[in-house]
Structure 1
Amino acid sequence: MIILPFDLGLLLSGLLLAVVVWIGMDQLARLARPSGLARRLLLRARLSVSLTIGLGTLIWWGFERLGWDLSRNGSEVRQVVLILGLVWTVLRCKSALLAHAGENLEWLQQRSQADRNFLQDLLNKLITGTLLLLATLEVLRLMGVSPTLLLTASGFGAAALGFGARTLVENLLAGVMLYVNRPFVIGDFIQVPSQSLQGTVKVIGLYYTQLITPDQQPLYLPNATFASSAILNGARRDHRQVLVTFGIRYDDQPLLEPILSALREELTQCPGVEPSLPRRVHFVGYGESSLDLRLECFGGGSSDAYYELQQEILQRIGRVVASQGAAMPFPTRLVLQTKPQNEDPQESSAGAEG
């Protein structure tokens, strides 16, 4: 019989068991259906399960080396390690469960992409928060902390937060209200006009919200910003306004009415223009070098639909102006220079010769 120094038998047995569990779960995952839930869960859980066994064995061996008899008095330590390992495993499997639910639940697939993103993000935070709260309470109970003490500490903690961490509390409450009221969801393009901020929502956290600006820069905003500022959500509008101001030459004033009539006719035939909303073409003023006209209509709410319609409208304006024999002017400025009335040309030339 081989006797290992420092009582390494327990340690090596635990580490060997952790390796066997890793290999066993890996082999089971290989046998499972490639796109199935079982394969995803096994692959996600093998690391946490194996490390829990290995670390639990290492802790037990270390305590025994210190002279603590965990076989009789170490149930609390074993339970703490087991709870932490279980929570870690569930948190690692959480993403696989949510992904599987999004792919296979029919009622979830019938919702829009924005609603699916919101529900998955909400479930993700609820599962994480609930697990961490329950694990913390159970660990404190195993350590001998009474519920009365917890309630008292939470009361003092709430008072301290109220007086000394008002900003933190405001952001946390605002984060909760973002999930309740849902002024925007992940993937929406929003604007905060009071602060000249805009971007696409990427993350909605309990303390801050991350936006991606149009130039692809990450922008982190405290949630309290949205509680005290107006928000424009471009993803929620059904239609977007196309407003084009352009000009024609002053020499083309006789062609003004034919151009206006032709453009109004074009708006009735242009695909993408919403017929139930205003369609206007008007002469709006005299510019420095042009007769100014303005065209207004409404199209689809998405950015792609808006830019495609705007491009089509601009092309049709150019074709109508050219077909009527008019043109769009270049900015010009006429400078008139006059000579003084009392100036004698002969005196001026004599003075120049002298």
Structure 2
Amino acid sequence: MPVPEGSGFGVHNLPYGVFSQRGELPRVGVAIGEQVLDLAELASSGLLADRRWFAAGSLNAFMAAGRAVWQPTRDRVITLLTDMSYRDEVEPALYPMSDVELHMPFEVADYVDFYSSREHATNLGRILRPGGEPLLPNWTRLPVGYHGRAGTVVPSGTPIVRPRGQRKGEPEPVFGPTAKLDVEAEVGFVIGVPSALGRPVSTGAFRDHVFGFVLVNDWSARDIQAWEYQPLGPFLAKSFATSVSPWVVPVDALGAARVRPPEQDPEPLPYLRCDEPWGLDLTLRIELNGQVVSRPPFAGMYWTAPQQLAHATANGAALRTGDLMASGTVSGPRREQRGSLIELTWNGTEPLELPDGTKRVFLEDGDTVRVTATAPSPDVDPIGFGDVIGTVYPSPA
């Protein structure tokens, strides 16, 4: 199967998604180069084992099947795409990506957002608590997070309507559209195999439960957040929309991207210790109206995905198929590596000048944000995640 250089969707990737053609029902496919391989069609022709996992509008049934199904399915798809003897049978199941519509790849059961970048947490601490200690005492002890709203996790391309809410005013609070709409570039992982209520999931069991990774943009209304988040944390400032990429990159596709994460001091409690290196060498890119404004590095995230999973279930909370857990904003030590506008503009005090000469402090109506990411691959072509895109629309009158 020829794959154009730089597509990000080579045979070492093979991310899963849900697509449809005009007038047809959605079904499961795999991205390969600039095409989509229809797994439902392969299954109906007998080339791929199937228990009605692929003739479906979401990945959930396939994700719930577990590694005993994921691995042989992946191996079989690789064979079908690399063995010339299958060419005549496989080619009819390939569709140009430009001719299909991509959908939300999975049904979200629960949504958890963490706060795992030390650089991001430090920057926010300095902005919101000037003169105080940037990191609160618990931050280096556990992966801080909050539960978001599953019903407003939306696929890439969904319009983002400027949210309304209550903001601090003088002398009284005011209600209206946010004036500080922000982007948060994140990486999330998706649960495939559920767990039993009352049974914590260890860091070592990560691969048994997690199906793959997606890109996330956790849109945020900073002025609403600043007024409402004490003492219980984000609520309306983040629950209006969270965008995810249409392709789920399998855990097995990221073997070449795994690196040792930053040293953790103090040493985590035993339930958070991880025997394997689960840092991921991903490079994110944030574009605002087609212009690159930041390149956040994911390899520097302080808390790793297995630690996030272990902490989320440490109290016995059960996992469900379709649970989405996001990393929190990805930021690096340099200004051009910050993953949100509140950091890039230091809460609006240092306007961001775009390459075309325009300036921004926060998002304006009509702005389009695009987040992409790449990871190392066993060959020269990197692993791509597709992109997550959103355009800001005005708040309704």
The two structures have a TM-score, normalised by structure 2, of: 0.19
Q: Greater share of helix residues, 1 or 2?
A: 1
Structure number with the bigger relative contact order (C-alpha 8 A, sep ≥ 6) is 2
* Structure with the larger strand share: 2
Larger Rg: 1
